[in-house]
Chain A
Amino acid sequence: MKRLISSILGFLIAFCPLAAQAQSDVQMADGMRAEGKIYVVVAIILIVLSGLIAYLVMLDRKVNKLEKLVSDKNK
């Protein structure tokens, strides 16, 4: 598990642009990244995503229950 987490983190760091921010004349949200506020945005969309997926899982379980109920009644 520890190994898995560290390899995931390593992968993320390898792709993160934080360390070497290439300066160019095109405006990007570099300041937001430097301050780390981008993680707030990431956290928020992850909360929304996990909430929606949890909802989908609960719906799945509910349909399972309904299917059982109907097949029991059919006997």
Chain B
Amino acid sequence: MKNWLKIVAVVLLFYVHIGGMLFDVPRLNILNETIRALYFHVPRWFGMVLLFLLSVYYSVRYLRNPVPENDYKAVEYANVGLVFGILGMLTGMLWANYAWGSPWHGDPKQNGAAIALLVYMAYFVLRGSIENEEQKGRLSAVYNIFAFAAMVPLIFIIPRMTSSMHPGSGGNPAFNMYDLDSKMRLIFYPAVVGWFLIGIWIVALRVRIRVVEEKIIEIENEKTY
């Protein structure tokens, strides 16, 4: 990852944390000041979806060209994406406790997101259960494509077909209720970009650690022969 991208991410996050607390927000009943949670909760899900998208991209690349690097990238993007999803779930439950009355409401989007996370956890179970590296890479790449294809309707389509308490559900486009104040976008979109870049940064580190690991194993093997 390029250094200037890391700096952009850090600058954006500082801006988001200052602006997210201090800038004006719409005054809405029930939500009150917790509307600011939008700046910190929703970027988690946007980040997760983008990271999973990159993961699927590298899985497809692995199937077309099975070099280990593509496999490492697919795994690590999914791994960090899952962390983003878990944090999104926890922040969402805390917010729901105050905005909706209880942490788990059976809200369609919440349920869908939980199922999507379970589908992705199964990806790691699958990887852990296969010894042969090539088989592991191939099978998990195919499963990863399925997991992404399952996540999209679970998070984006089903909640829109039923009534959900999340904004952007039950037919209405997302963020409609915040359109009162487009100033929120000035912080929300930088937050998405900033956290996504931080996610990519962590992925890059984890991929590099994997490569180093592989090299060490290679060196050890050469010694024994």
Q: A42-B21, A46-B18 are in contact. Are A56 and B212 (CB under 8 A)?
A: no
B212 A66 Cβ-Cβ under 8 A: yes
Residues of A in contact (CB 8 Å), total 29
Say whether B215 faces chain A, with CB atoms less than 8 Å apart. Answer: yes
Q: A56-B202, A73-B219 are in contact. Are A27 and B212 (CB under 8 A)?
A: no
B212 partner residues in chain A, CB cutoff 8 A: 63, 66-67, 70
Which among A16, A29, A49, A60 is the interface contact of B205 at CB below 8 angstroms? Answer: A60
Q: What is the interface of chain A mostly: helix, strand, loop, or mixed?
A: helix
Q: How far is the CA of A27 from the CA of B34 in the complex (A)?
A: 11
Q: Which of A21-58 contact B (CB under 8 A)?
A: 22, 24, 26-29, 38, 41-42, 45-46, 49-50, 53, 56-57
Which stretch from B22-30, B63-71, B127-135 is at the chain A interface? B22-30
How many A-B residue pairs have C-beta atoms within 8 angstroms? Tell me: 70
Q: Can you list 29 A-B pairs with a CB-CB distance of less than 8 A?
A: A12-B18, A12-B19, A15-B24, A16-B22, A17-B22, A26-B28, A26-B29, A26-B32, A28-B27, A38-B22, A41-B21, A42-B21, A45-B21, A49-B13, A49-B14, A53-B10, A53-B13, A56-B201, A56-B202, A57-B6, A59-B205, A63-B209, A63-B212, A67-B212, A70-B215, A71-B215, A73-B219, A74-B215, A74-B219
Q: How far is the CA of A71 from the CA of B218 in the complex (A)?
A: 12
Say whether B216 faces chain A, with CB atoms less than 8 Å apart. Answer: yes
Q: What is the interface of chain B mostly: helix, strand, loop, or mixed?
A: helix
What per-residue 1/0 map shows which CB atoms of B1-23 lie under 8 Å from chain A? 00000100010011001110111
B19 partner residues in chain A, CB cutoff 8 A: 12, 15
Classify chain B: how many residues form its interface, as a range: 20 to 34
Say whether B185 faces chain A, with CB atoms less than 8 Å apart. Answer: no
B179 partner residues in chain A, CB cutoff 8 A: none
Q: A59-B205, A63-B205 are in contact. Are A15 and B22 (CB under 8 A)?
A: yes
